[in-house]
Amino acid sequence: MPTEYQISSDVDLIIHLYNSSSPPSSPISEYIDSNDHDGSTPPSDIIKYYVTAWSLQQASPIFSRIISPSPRFKQPSKTVYSGKECKLITLEDDCPHALSIVLNLLHLNSKSLPSIDEISWNTFYDIAVIWDKYDISNLIVPPWLKHFQKLMNGVGYEGWLFIGKTFGEGEGYVDLTARLIVESGQNLSGKEAIEAGPGGVGFTRGGKYIEASGWPDSVREHITTENSNLMEKLRKILTTWKWSFKGKRPRALCTCYGNVPRYNRHTQLSNSIADLLSNESTVPSPPYHRLPNNINNMTSSGIRLASRLRDIEGVGNWQWNGSIVTLRRRMALFRGFMGDRDMRQVQHMLENADIYDLCPLEESALRVLYDFDQTIETIKGIGIDGEVFDVPLNRLIEDVKSEPWNSKGDGRKWDSIAMLGVRISGIFAVLSVVVFAIALGNGWGVKLVESGIVT
């Protein structure tokens, strides 16, 4: 790493940067010529930047106060550089490389700036830290901003929550906060817990520990609160489902004993339910093998089905420490049992469960899936200005976009048409009964028999 950075050719300010954990061993003399290498030279671990004061003062009110403080405060030291008297200021704890880039930006030294291929995400984040620390004007825009903005949704780029707010770049910010609400989990492994430390502020995402302490406080609190609120609602839905199986005669058992294929499918469904709701099991059951068309086998299968569901009983409530997205993918197995339907059709089926001939097990699973997806249908994201917006889940998760289950029913009217047919048939049946009753009351049937029309 260089120990000196020549930022400007018109130098009237020298910056000394050092780490506050190892400050200079002795005060720096007020007058030091750059060609004088006696014992008054600063310690070698100090990095020096030769700049023009005006460029910094125009871009940053913080730099302006440091360079030209009020007369009531201590004035900067002075030193001689190439025969010219210069001010000297000291900065602490900034990333040396990032500071050199920021200073070149403020001096409009475009040729001295790294290309997109030469700058890393970590360096860009350090630039944002310096930008925020010295309140640098956003009239100057780092040329790599849009490049890193394209990566903001990826795992490991969550620091954009700080960067976006620092540079006033709000595009995609609301969606990112909403995405983190549904993708954040709290299940830290032993290694992750060590990395986080006793005071670690973060969560898991994509199997990695994500540090959140650098985010804006209001944004972090919003994400944490919304995630907790949604998870609590989902826990209540699944806890209620779990406890519905309590007792010797579970309410939500399959009653499709006369339909072997359907009963076998519902036996698989019961295994999946037990896997999800059981405190002991987090791994899906192996694929279920179709039973032969034998009533004895059906009976023993029925015993297994009831026993499997009763196994999920317990005094504790249902728990989940992973992300909402991961939980939704676990529940995708249940959606497979429900067929290729959309949310509007599902709602219609639940309102007319007797007409659709839903057994209690299927109805309970359908209702839980519906309540679950309704709970997370929209996520509340927050913008850089603190305003909260509703974000549709299908804008955040790719696999939701293509699922018929998550659509609103546009172009899928088959169930509605079927219900219309059932209702029309019912109306005709009722009219037939009424007409027949009227006919009997008026004696039309007797007259028809007497006339020989009906024998």
User: What CATH code is carried by the domain that includes residue 40?
Assistant: 3.30.710.10
Domain span at residue 443 reads 415-450
In a domain, 218, yes or no: no
Q: What are 312-362's pLDDT values in tens digits?
A: 655 578 888 889 999 998 888 887 777 667 777 788 888 887 787 778 888
Instruction: Kindly state whether residues 89 and 120 are assigned to the same domain.
Output: yes
Higher local confidence (pLDDT), 401 or 244: 244
Instruction: Kindly state whether residues 330 and 425 are assigned to the same domain.
Output: no
In a domain, 332, yes or no: yes
In a domain, 195, yes or no: no
In a domain, 268, yes or no: yes
Query: Can you tell me the mean pLDDT for 234-244?
Result: 90
Instruction: Kindly state whether residues 428 and 317 are assigned to the same domain.
Output: no
pTM for the model:
0.76
For the chain, the average pLDDT equals 78
Asked if pLDDT for residue 268 goes beyond 70, the answer is yes
Give the residue from 143, 175, 201 where a domain finishes: 143
Q: What are 405-442's pLDDT values in tens digits?
A: 555 544 444 445 545 554 565 565 556 656 666 666 66
Instruction: Kindly state whether residues 255 and 351 are assigned to the same domain.
Output: yes
The encoded tokens of residue 308 equal 């499997």
In a domain, 132, yes or no: yes
Instruction: Kindly state whether residues 316 and 441 are assigned to the same domain.
Output: no
At residue 252 the predicted structure's pLDDT band, cuts being 50, 70 and 90, is low
The encoded tokens of residue 451 equal 């006339």
Residue with tokens 């000297």: 88
CA distances from 273 to 62, 253, 290, 434 (A): 60, 11, 18, 47
Among 9-18, 43-52, 309-318, 360-369, the minimum mean pLDDT is found in: 309-318
Angle, CA 273 vertex, CA 268 and CA 275 arms, to 5°: 95
In the chain, the number of structural domains is 3
Instruction: Kindly state whether residues 306 and 437 are assigned to the same domain.
Output: no
Instruction: Kindly state whether residues 301 and 326 are assigned to the same domain.
Output: yes
In a domain, 103, yes or no: yes
Instruction: Kindly state whether residues 385 and 313 are assigned to the same domain.
Output: yes
Instruction: Kindly state whether residues 16 and 46 are assigned to the same domain.
Output: yes
In a domain, 455, yes or no: no
In a domain, 123, yes or no: yes
Q: What are 14-32's pLDDT values in tens digits?
A: 999 987 655 444 333 333 3
